[in-house]
Structure 1
Amino acid sequence: MDQQKYVLSFYIKNGVKTDMKRIGVLTSGGDAPGMNAAIRAVVRKAIYHEMEVYGIYQGYSGLINGNIKKLELGSVGDIIQRGGTMLYSARCEEFKTKEGQAKGIEQLKKHGIEGLVVIGGDGSYRGAKALTEQGFPCVGVPGTIDNDIPGTEYTIGFDTAINTVINAIDRIRDTATSHERTFIVEVMGRDAGDIALWTGLAGGAETILIPEEKFEMKEIIKRLERGQERGKKHSIIIIAEGVCSAVEFASQLKEMANLETRVSVLGHIQRGGSPTAFDRVLASRLGSRAVELLMEGKGGRAVGIERNQLVDYDIIEILSKPHKVNMDMYKLSTELSI
């Protein structure tokens, strides 16, 4: 894809800075801890460089409906420690259509917004891609607890989510030990197993089930039986929601091995809470870099972090690449859970 298509030369001044004076920012899709820190970074970075920033509320739905307000320095005060998103979020089927996208662009033009920062996951990026293809400069910032966006090693919210899950696993292990039971803990991850893999490895789970890897129930049963033979009284099984429901899995264990289990579905608790220091710093760096790209006259980009260095890629190319889970970590988890 020719990158020059997305470099809007009429914004460029002296080859570096731009005449862009007004940008917008929105959050879309599932909320993630650290989104507020990213919003704060976008607003304050832009204002520092004498640009106006407009917040678009309720994601692409709010964009279509014109729910757009100017943000000042004070608008983003005291939000860096808050989970969720001050701009709120909403799903929007209408924006998937050309008509919906045209309405959104019309609202951007109406408010004089010249560039847009989109904070979210895969669906949010697809909206930014659609705007980019129609000539409106957008920069994507990866905000999702699933850690499933290509072009970055970490997404905003992932670190907080896995720490939330780890705290839950530690507590569940206490009661599993006391009652000598096997617990099945279901975590988020419809298409990506990162949350299950990281928390399972960090939490010492005996079995980790992820969407990227098939499992054999007989092998899992053998592993549990080997543990019992050496005197093990309890076990923790971590299952990503994309594999199957924990209740369904528990039913299969009961049917095949007559094994009584207890199920904990952590659900949306994984999305909430104050972001960790890592997520706050990551969000601040990525949000600031997104503004810099717009200042350079570059749209159609997606920012990320690799080896602790900020990177950016063509957002269209990013969306064409599959997410890959770290299979070396998965192998390690099986070796350590013998």
Structure 2
Amino acid sequence: MKKIGVLTSGGDAPGMNAAIRAVVRKAIYHNVEVCGIVAGYTGLISGHFRKLELGSVGDIIHRGGTMLLSARCEEFKTKEGQHKGLQQLKNAGIEGLVVIGGDGSYRGAKALTELGFPCIGVPGTIDNDIGCTQFTIGFDTALNTVIDAIDKIRDTANSHERTFIIEVMGRNAGDIALWSGLAGGAETIIIPEDNDDIRHICARLKKGEERGKKHSIIVVAEGVSSGIELGKEIKQLANIDTRVSVLGHIQRGGSPTAFDRVLASRLGARAVELLLQGKGGRAVGMQNNQVSDHSLDEIFKGNHSIDLNLLTLSKELSI
């Protein structure tokens, strides 16, 4: 293999640049040319390519976002769009592709693989919702952003003796809410994998009030409910006023943590190794602190799991 491509797709995640850097420099180390595809599958269909040299990825390891830009592409979900993208790859002499992104990005990689073009997926999403890997690139950084917000909001909750609801991202996964809630000492964590009954939540809040507790932090994953709607329910059932903070896209930005930089470097480099070994239709990940790889079919069959023992621990510690 003499020339490979790399793209980032879907929602951006801190550490994507570190992964791009690893792909480019690992490939060049092995005398393989690298072509960057701008704006994900949209750029693939339109042929928006640029050659990436060693200097092209200098001074990006610490930057959030993605230097290759990202976009969602409805056209690539169609067979016609997929064939257009495949033809652009062939026209450019690209022989393998590294796709950095989440579930939708992997589906695009799988489609190209089924057309006979080797693709390797690298998990880049703050949601941490990809199967066959314990951590995805960007999750740790987003987690620390949320924890920082919780700490600051707790100061105000304490000063005004209020209950605060903090809504976090995660799509249909509760990893961000669970980990940040436990690390931030939240009294209540609400996640899709264990959607607590609103009456139980209100009962815990009332019990806290009875023992003299003046403020509380509730962390809710967006896949369960909006913070605003949850606040209305609590007011109606328990007559407790709440204040809501929706953290939103602040969770997707910022300089990646050391963990995400190392993770991205390891996974990006391994993706190149797999292509050079003639493999495609696979995705890299981390299991027990070791880099692993699995078929894309296996990743789609196995749903991402969450450690509910952490939720139990949170409830025990927030009595």
Pair in the same fold by TM > 0.5: yes
Confirm or deny that 1:183 pairs with 2:164.
yes
Measure, in 2, the Cα distance between the counterparts of 1:91 and 1:243: 24
Q: Within 1, Cα distance between the matches of 2:175 and 2:22?
A: 26
Task: Specify the SS of the correspondent of 1:54.
Answer: strand
Aligned to 1:106: 87
What amino acid sits opposite 2:316 in the alignment? E
> What is aligned with 2:17?
36
Q: How do residues 78-227 of structure 1 correspond to structure 2 at under 5 angstroms?
A: 78-227=59-208
Deviation at 1:227, TM superposition (A): 1.1
Matching residue's letter, 1:86: M
Q: What is the CA–CA distance in structure 2 between the aligned matches of 1:95 and 1:320, rounded to whole Å? A: 22
2-structure distance, mates of 1:176, 1:244:
21
CA distance in 2, matches of 1:330, 1:256: 24
What's the TM-score once normalised by structure 1's chain length?
0.94
Paired residue secondary structure (1:69): strand
> What SS does the aligned partner of 2:11 have?
coil
From 220, 224, 236, the equivalent of 1:243 is 224
Report what 1:50 is aligned to.
31
- Provide the C-alpha distance between the structure 2 equivalents of 1:232 and 1:259, rounded to a whole number of angstroms: 13
**Is 1:284 aligned to residue 235 of structure 2?**
no
> 8 Å contact 1:197–1:330 — kept in the other structure?
yes
Indicate the RMSD between aligned Cα atoms, in angstroms.
0.6
Give the Cα separation in 2 of the matches to 1:247 and 1:79: 37
Q: Which runs of 5+ in 2 are unaligned?
A: none
In 1: Cα distance, 2:254 partner to 2:13 partner: 9
CA distance in 1, matches of 2:56, 2:169: 32
1:113-167 superposed Cα distances (whole Å, 9 cap, x missing partner): 0000000000000000000111100000000000000111000000000000000
Identity of aligned residues (%): 74
Matched, 1:69 2:46: no
Check conservation: 1:190, 1:211, Cα contact below 8 A.
no
Report runs of 4+ in structure 1 exceeding 2 Å deviation.
none
Q: Can you list the C-alpha shifts for 1:254-281, whole angstroms capped at 9, x where unaligned?
A: 1111111100000000000000000000
Local SS of the residue matching 1:117: strand
Q: Residues 187 and 239 of structure 1 are in contact (CA less than 8 Å); yes or no, is this contact kept in structure 2?
A: yes
Moved more, 165-174 or 253-262: 253-262
Contact 2:206 2:238 in 1 (8 A): no
In structure 1, the residue matched to 2:238 is 257
Instruction: Name the counterpart of 1:307.
Output: 288
Q: How far did 1:219 drift?
A: 1.1
SS in structure 2 of the partner of residue 168 of structure 1: helix
Question: Is 2:132–2:304's contact at 8 Å kept on the other side of the alignment?
Answer: no
Partner of 1:17: none
Q: Which whole-Å deviations, capped at 9, do the CAs of 1:6-42 have from their partners, x for residues lacking one? A: xxxxxxxxxxxxxx00000000000000000000000
Q: Output aligned runs, 1:259-274, within 5 Å.
A: 259-274=240-255
Please give the alpha-carbon distance, in whole angstroms, between the structure 2 residues aligned to 1:310 and 1:189. 24
What's the offset of the Cα at 1:214?
Answer: 2.2
CA-to-aligned-CA distance 1:27-75 (integer Å, 9 cap, x gap): 0000000000000000000001000000000000000000011100110
Secondary structure at 2:243 match in 1: strand
Q: Which residue of 2 aligns with 1:6?
A: none
